[in-house]
Amino acid sequence: MSERNQIDFRVSGRYALFTDPNSRLGGEKCSYFVPTYEALKGIAKSIYWKPTFYWVIDAVRVMQRIRTQTRGTKPRKFTSAGNDLAIYTFLADVDYQVRAHFEWNLHRPELAEDRIEGKHYALVSRMVEKGGRQDVFLGVRDCQGYVEPCDFGSGDGEYDGYGELSFGVMFHSFGYPDETGTNQLTVHLWQQTMENGIIRFVRPEACPYKKPVREMRAKKFGQGRLLGIEAEIAEWGG
């Protein structure tokens, strides 16, 4: 990893819902107390992503006190027309500092010509300043997130000096075929721990608990038109 493939950003929002899978059985979702690796990876992809590389989340720093709030929602019924009534438990007033880096996807040799570190680093840095290339969501579409640059570790956090806090076994990430080189979708679980407000993630392949979900094949990408940095910036409005 080098400084030319690493970014720091701040993401905040009024609400977040990093769904605990165990809470989905009754249709009433409840958020984990902290974001998952997969949720933060999705935010990084909303900032900037190309199939040439994949994002690795190194750490997240929890800046605000963890608070929850319940809200009534009306999800669509799956067995009949209309909507149902459910109570969702959200996180309220969230604020995180995130450190991540990108690595080349070696399972896509057809995109080898696009492995230009300086180009992608310049583009992702610009997209962080602009708040992301796509809309940012904190777990679910109902929870809008806002991205801006930051220096990871700067400022005062609510859990500075708090010590260790364990959240037990949590969902970590999905293993998708285009990143693992297999034809299998896999779920990764791990023991998530926060130390003085910072969660340092293990890599997906290092998770101690893995479970295959179903067979899946990677989407095929052609080279198409590989643009230089000036053309990329012009296409996305500078």
- Exposure b/e, 215-237, CB count within 10 A at least 16 = b: ebebeeeeeeeeeeeeebeeeee
Task: Look at residue 222 and tell me whether its pLDDT is greater than 70.
Answer: no
Contact 139, 35 (CB under 8 A): yes
Q: How many CB atoms lie within 10 A of CB 35?
A: 26
pLDDT of residue 29: 85
User: Mind listing the pLDDT tens digit for each residue in 177-204?
Assistant: 888 888 889 999 999 999 999 999 999 9
Q: How many CB atoms lie within 10 A of CB 128?
A: 21
Q: Which two tokens stand for residue 145?
A: 């997130």
pLDDT of residue 203: 95
Task: Look at residue 226 and tell me whether its pLDDT is greater than 70.
Answer: no
Quote the CA–CA distance of 128 and 100 in Å, as a whole number.
12
- The amino acid sitting at 230 is E
Percent of the chain past pLDDT 70, that is, above it, reads: 84
Walk me through the domains of the chain, giving residue ranges and CATH numbers: 3-162 (3.30.70.2660)
Q: How many CB atoms lie within 10 A of CB 196?
A: 14
User: Which range, 47-61, 105-119, 219-233, is most confident?
Assistant: 47-61
The dihedral over CA atoms of 172, 175, 178, 183, expressed in degrees to the nearest 10, equals -170
Q: Where are the alpha helices (DSSP H) in the chain?
A: 37-47, 117-129, 177-180, 229-235
Task: Look at residue 102 and tell me whether its pLDDT is greater than 80.
Answer: yes
User: Mind listing the pLDDT tens digit for each residue in 60-90?
Assistant: 999 999 999 998 777 666 667 766 777 889 9
pLDDT of residue 237: 53
Mean pLDDT of the chain: 88
Q: Across residues 224-233, what is the average pLDDT?
A: 56
Which DSSP symbol is given to 185?
E
Contact 96, 60 (CB under 8 A): yes
Quote the CA–CA distance of 212 and 92 in Å, as a whole number.
33
